[in-house]
Amino acid sequence: MPLVIGTRGSALALAQAERVRRLLKSAGIETDLKVIATAGDEVTGVPLHEIGGQGVFVRALDDAILKNECDCAVHSMKDIPAVRPHGVSMAAVLARDSPSDFLATHAEAPKVIGSSSTRRRAQLLRHDPDCSVQSLRGNVDTRLRRLSEGRFDAIVLAEAGLERLNLRVEGRRLDPREFVPSTNQGTIAVVSRDDPRIVSLLAQALDDPTSRRDTLVERAVMEELGGGCFTPIGCWCADGHLVSEVLSLDGDRWVRKEAEIGGIDEARTFGRALRKEAAGLIREAFERLRLRDGG
């Protein structure tokens, strides 16, 4: 019986699911694909933090796994929340693609930039305090269309998403040492029902040990930092070298740490130290957004 893979219906999600299907087929594993709608796809007019953060893309697929509507699901790993429901396992982490952000633009010095990410907004304002960062959500095609319509001078996208869709877009990669990516950006993960047979099957065919190690280090740091999706936080580990930063919402202040990390315990120690140093920025971001939203 084929393994049933759940996925969102966006072009990027389907491209990622098809990559997993090809890898599984090469390992002799047959699959079927099941498209499942999520709240994040249906509500696009507001920033993600107002509808539950990145986790809105994952909940419907988790539910489908737990209801036996599919055996596993493919996600951009950065969308997967730290707290996972009982009965769901992260079976495989694929070899990481580019973790970098990409500035799609025709302009040498764009002034009106589209992004709804608080991290990207803060980093862009740090780089150029005179630019205007305006809210922009939607799938990759929607955001590129808004750019072509002249609503923005530039937009920011994950470079990995453009590569997976085979899109050639004018612009430039943003150096991840300056524009530190979000946790797990550029990584595809496969989650499954907590069934040893399915987990083992997926792990043997798909899992990349280096990418799993680096991305789990990043997740450990983020779990210690907390801060929620409203705090501008970058966290990137490459072959054990970890850099993470917490910024103010306006990008005028930040706390940054770097270290060579040997494992999860060291990552947690690193995260606790960064949280202590950046506690004021985390608290400030939460309070500003709470007051803005009338909380």
Q: Residues with catalytic annotation?
A: 79
**Strand, coil or helix: what is 147?**
helix
- The backbone region for 112, taken as left when phi is positive above 0, alpha when psi lies in -120 to 50, beta otherwise, is beta
Residue 6 · residue 61 · CB < 8 Å: yes
- Non-local (6+) Cβ contacts of 114 within 8 A are 133, 134, 135, 136, 143, 146, 147, 151, 152, 154, 155, 156
For residue 182, give both structure tokens: 């979000």
| Closest C-alpha among 66, 100, 101, 62 to residue 81 | 62
For residue 283, give both structure tokens: 């608290």
**Strand, coil or helix: what is 259?**
strand
d(CA 175, CA 65) in angstroms, rounded, equals 37
Phi, psi of 231 (to 5 degrees): -95, 130
Q: Write the DSSP symbol of residue 45.
A: S
Residue 6 · residue 193 · CB < 8 Å: no
For residue 26, give both structure tokens: 């090469």
Q: Please state at what angle helix 196-206 crosses helix 11-26, rounded to 10 degrees.
A: 90
For residue 181, give both structure tokens: 């990516």
Q: Write the DSSP symbol of residue 79.
A: G
**Strand, coil or helix: what is 94?**
coil
